[in-house]
Structure 1
Amino acid sequence: MPLPRLLLLTLLTLMAFAANSLLCRLALFDERMDPALFTLLRLTSGALMLLLLCALRRPPQPRQGDWGGALALIGYGAAFSFAYLTLTTGTGALLLFAAVQLSMLAPPLLRGERLPPRQWAGLLLAMAGLILLLLPGITAPDPLGAALMIAAGIAWACYTLRAPRFADPLAANAGHFLRASLPAALLYLWLGHLEASPLAIGYALASGALASGLGYALWYRVLPQLGRTLAASVQLLVPLLAALGGLIWLDESWSMRLLLSSIAILGGIALVIWGRPSAGDKS
């Protein structure tokens, strides 16, 4: 793939990932949308977009996926939506990103693998930044919202770790989204209500079909070209892009605590990424 096209597609992908936080916050905060309804619309529209993309390929690809991935996906989607009832865009994106990246380290540690010193330093720095962000105080995030977003990050890490089981990532995502729509509908029937403005519905559909469906399709298109280390590194931009969107469209502001926490968390995760062994990096 030519370098200019790769750069453009990568930037569009990162913007799509960041847009999920912004669209959810706009729907819930500006339009007072029910988070259960947002989750349902996001997952169903994402499923339809992914199924359409699979059908358009030649030859058409059948959906894959399983219920384990679907349950991880609904856990992520529901916790993500309910967390944004109280969190700002930047804080939520930062907590989600930190929880995902730190959770991805758990399987190697549980297997007894030893981390290089640079990765340990990065892990401790990121944990320190997370603790600083969550310490009680005037600018601390809402505890329940923070806990929900961390749970969303852990669920997303579980979802990501299941990906190598499937040969076709796009078809697997289509199957996971389609299956996850069923528990999302049950969650809506249990906790949700139908009242929503047309704009809020548009935000939810854009989050599912565009930021999630097309975003994931683009990501799996550029991932083989980037390699694991570079791909993980560029994702450091996602919380910053989400925070910038919150500043522009929601008039949110950053506190000194959030700024210092962001530097520690993103810097620590960068050390973890760059401390990985180089063997097999292009897989």
Structure 2
Amino acid sequence: MTDSVSRPAPQFSTWAIAAMPGVFVLLWSTGFIGAKFGLPYAEPMTFLALRFAAVTVLLCVFAGLTGAPWPKSWTEAGHIAVAGLLLQAVYLGGVFASIFHGVPAGISALIVGIQPLLVAAAAGPVLGERVTPRQWVGLMLGLSGVILVVWTKLDLGVGTPWGYALSVIALVGITVGTLYQKRYCPQIDLRSGTAIQFAATTVALTPLALLFETRQVQWTGEFIFALGWLCIVLSLGAITLLFILIRRGAAAKVSSLFFLVPPCTALVAWPLFGEQLSPLALFGMVATMAGVALVNISPKK
């Protein structure tokens, strides 16, 4: 490792910067749809190990062809790998395994939806960021909106205690991972850095698949579509946007965007799976958008 992976933040046009949060939310929301398509045909750790192994190969090739710099020290590479393990292995592994163990996606989304509040609470002591009273109101309004969106889908009698514990583990992973990435890896090269993160995640998840799963995969059209979508759209597209947003903005503001994921997922699931949207859910979507706006839009002076 000879070249530093730390680089100046890439420059983007004004319209691209404005569009990034919305595009990120839309792409990230489709992850739950991909899981619903793919999990019937493969166990969660097997599914994710295949996904991350494929993405690692693609990113390593891309980083090599474009001359991406690599970390100049093993310590720097270690920080990048730890952030990737938290954001990928712990978070996504927990969510996928939770759904596989019977926890409804709505409940899993609600548990993970607490993340913006936890990040906001920790942003001060960990990152030195200040969350204003106005932003706290927005965070609480956003969480309330998420609860209204998923309320009609809540069924606490479904799923195992281990499944719910996995959702909590996923919540811890994405919360700590967001803070860790912001503090220790703010300027990673998006080509070599994400390649390291996905490689570390592949190494972490593959033994779990080998030890605890049958590793049987039904290579149906739906599974291949889900795997391809999650590899290209989620792992390459959405994750890249997330890292750019973390690099450019305050952690609490970026995390507030996750409040929009359950409403957006519900909108995507409506035409795909015929899932109806109740008036309560629609009201919750409006409340969520208002909450995120309070967090992210600075008042005019």
| Range of TM-score over shorter length | 0.7 to 0.9
Post-superposition offset of 1:95: 4.5
The reply on whether 1:42 has 2:57 as its aligned counterpart is: no
The reply on whether 1:83 has 2:98 as its aligned counterpart is: yes
In the superposition, the TM-score normalised over structure 1's length comes to: 0.73
What does 1:175-186 correspond to in 2, within 5 Å?
Answer: 175-186=196-207
The reply on whether 1:26 has 2:17 as its aligned counterpart is: no
CA contact (8 A) 1:90 1:243 kept: no
The reply on whether 1:61 has 2:69 as its aligned counterpart is: yes
What does 1:218-233 correspond to in 2, within 5 Å?
Answer: 218-220=241-243
CA contact (8 A) 1:92 1:149 kept: yes
Amino acid at match of 2:271: I
CA contact (8 A) 1:65 1:176 kept: no
The reply on whether 1:187 has 2:187 as its aligned counterpart is: no
Post-superposition offset of 1:101: 1.4
Aligned to 1:116: 132
SS at match of 1:104: helix
| Pick aligned residue for 2:239 from 210, 213, 216 | 216
Post-superposition offset of 1:118: 1.5
Give per-residue Cα distances to partners, 1:23-68, cap 9 Å, x unaligned: 011112xx343112122122222322332332232x3322645443
The reply on whether 1:152 has 2:170 as its aligned counterpart is: yes
| Pick aligned residue for 1:207 from 230, 233, 250 | 230
Aligned length: 272
SS at match of 2:200: helix
| Pick aligned residue for 1:196 from 217, 220, 244 | 217
CA contact (8 A) 2:55 2:231 kept: yes
Which segment drifts farther, 181-190 or 121-130? 121-130
Amino acid at match of 1:192: E
Post-superposition offset of 1:155: 0.8
SS at match of 2:138: helix
Relative to structure 1, the CA distance from residue 110 to residue 265 in structure 2 (aligned partners, 3 Å threshold; closer, same or farther) is farther
CA contact (8 A) 2:53 2:202 kept: yes
Amino acid at match of 1:34: E
CA contact (8 A) 1:47 1:174 kept: yes
C-alpha separation in 2, matches of 1:16 and 1:53: 21
Aligned to 1:15: 26
CA contact (8 A) 2:257 2:292 kept: no
Give per-residue Cα distances to partners, 1:192-219, cap 9 Å, x unaligned: 2222222324413431343212332355
SS at match of 1:162: helix
The reply on whether 1:99 has 2:114 as its aligned counterpart is: yes
Post-superposition offset of 1:240: 3.1
C-alpha separation in 2, matches of 1:215 and 1:138: 26
Post-superposition offset of 1:178: 0.5
CA RMSD of aligned residues (A): 4.0
Aligned to 2:194: 173
C-alpha separation in 2, matches of 1:50 and 1:25: 25
C-alpha separation in 1, matches of 2:138 and 2:20: 29
Q: Percent identity?
A: 21
SS at match of 1:193: coil
Relative to structure 1, the CA distance from residue 54 to residue 9 in structure 2 (aligned partners, 3 Å threshold; closer, same or farther) is farther
Gaps of 5+ in 2: 1-11, 72-76
C-alpha separation in 1, matches of 2:246 and 2:131: 24
Aligned to 2:273: 250
Amino acid at match of 2:63: C
Relative to structure 1, the CA distance from residue 214 to residue 113 in structure 2 (aligned partners, 3 Å threshold; closer, same or farther) is closer
Post-superposition offset of 1:75: 0.9
C-alpha separation in 2, matches of 1:25 and 1:39: 13
In the superposition, the TM-score normalised over structure 2's length comes to: 0.70
SS at match of 2:216: coil
CA contact (8 A) 2:138 2:294 kept: yes
Post-superposition offset of 1:99: 2.8
